[in-house]
Amino acid sequence: MLLVNLYLMQKYQNLIFYKIIALGLFIGLGYAITPYDAIAQTIPTARQALIAQLLAQVSVLEQQLAVMSGASAQSSSNSSSAPVQMVAYQNDSCVVHRSLGRGATGADVSCLQRLLIGRGLLSEDSATGYFGVLTEAAVKRFQIDSGIVSSGDPSTTGYGLFGSRTRSGLFGIKTNTGSFPTHGGQYPVSGASSQQVYLKPNESMGGIGCNFNGIVVAHGTSFTAYQSATIPFGSQCVPEVRTCHNGTLSGTATSLSCSVLPSVSCAFASTTIPHSASVVAYGSSMVAGGSKCVAEARTCNNGILSGSYQYAICDIISYASCTLDGITLKHNESRSFYASLTVPHGALCESVSNVDVRTCQNGTMIGADTFNSANCSPSATLAI
């Protein structure tokens, strides 16, 4: 291993040397004795851009050599005269579409390093664009902390390799079985009810995920939610599309699913009235004979009964008859009754003092009880 490292160090030193030679030849011998600032003012703009590019590449090679030799990335950065131009950012996000391992270079490596820096797994000056031992150690630390993998090597278990599972883990995406997705697509994540929400891992590693009822929603992912898990019968579930954007979840709905409750029956006079059924109710349980029972139809609407009448039955009262001196009278029937069976000869039975009209009221005779004879006749002989 030591021989390999020495070989690689020599290789990078040679590359740096060749780059410097190429830069010197490009500028030309005519500028060799002129300070660089003066040269920059005289050479064409295109050549200035190319020189800057070559200097940047030299700086990157110096940093890679410093990592392989055990030196810090900071010392390499301080020794270079031009900044590293290898990080491509757009709206604080970057893209990682490939697997990254030891020796990889590029803007996506810088992207990964900055994400690891944000998690406190790398120092602030580690975004060099080169995947070295420090970056590999940070990836391993993340894999262990996230429960992705904790042993093996990049070729067997992926330990230390920033592959698809680690990309998903870094973004906080797990399936409903607790595993990490290995590729893009939609993964069901169980929510508070039996309905599932589908979360799509976002391969752009810049956005921050959102939390929804304990579920991690990927940046840029949308799903349907509802204000309530259950609503009354006859109502409609109103969906709301909620979208995660860099840690902020749009909308206010709180449930992943919505179901309509079954209809509710109504109770009436010790009976059950199904939803939408009707029953005849009465305002009174009985009325006097000759009168009518007043009724109304009451309808059950999901547990609420229309109307106000409380009685299921209404009876019409039957009135009693009256019997006096062998004469039977029906309710409200009237008849003349006499005070005495006979009157003196020449007197009249129908005199005011002897006769009265009495009426039967539900078994009771109305009038004075002295008039209780059904018949009256004058005496046949004159009293001496």
Q: Is 288 helix (H, G, I), strand (E, B) or coil?
A: coil
Q: Band of the pLDDT at 61, cuts 50, 70, 90?
A: low
CB atoms within 10 A of CB 149: 20
Is 187 buried (19+), middle (13-18) or exposed (0-12) by CB count in 10 A? buried
Minimal CA–CA distance to 167: which of 101, 102, 232? 101
Q: What is the pTM of this model?
A: 0.39
3-state secondary structure 311-346: ECCCEECCCCCEEECCEEECCCCEEEEECCCEECCC
Q: How far apart are the C-alpha atoms of 182 and 163, rounded to whole Å?
A: 8
Kindly report the backbone phi and psi dihedral angles of residue 43, in degrees, each rounded to the nearest multiple of 5, phi listed first.
Answer: -80, 155
For 225-277, write each residue's pLDDT tens digit: 999 999 999 899 999 998 888 778 899 999 888 999 999 999 998 899 999 99
Q: What is the separation, in whole angstroms, between the first and last Cα of the chain?
A: 170
Per-domain boundaries in the chain: 2-79, 266-316, 322-378
Amino acid at 335: R
In order of 234, 254, 257, 263, the CA distances from 229 in angstroms are 15, 8, 6, 16
Q: How far apart are the C-alpha atoms of 262 and 186, rounded to whole Å?
A: 33
For 75-112, write each residue's pLDDT tens digit: 333 333 322 222 223 334 566 778 899 999 998 899 88
CB atoms within 10 A of CB 163: 19
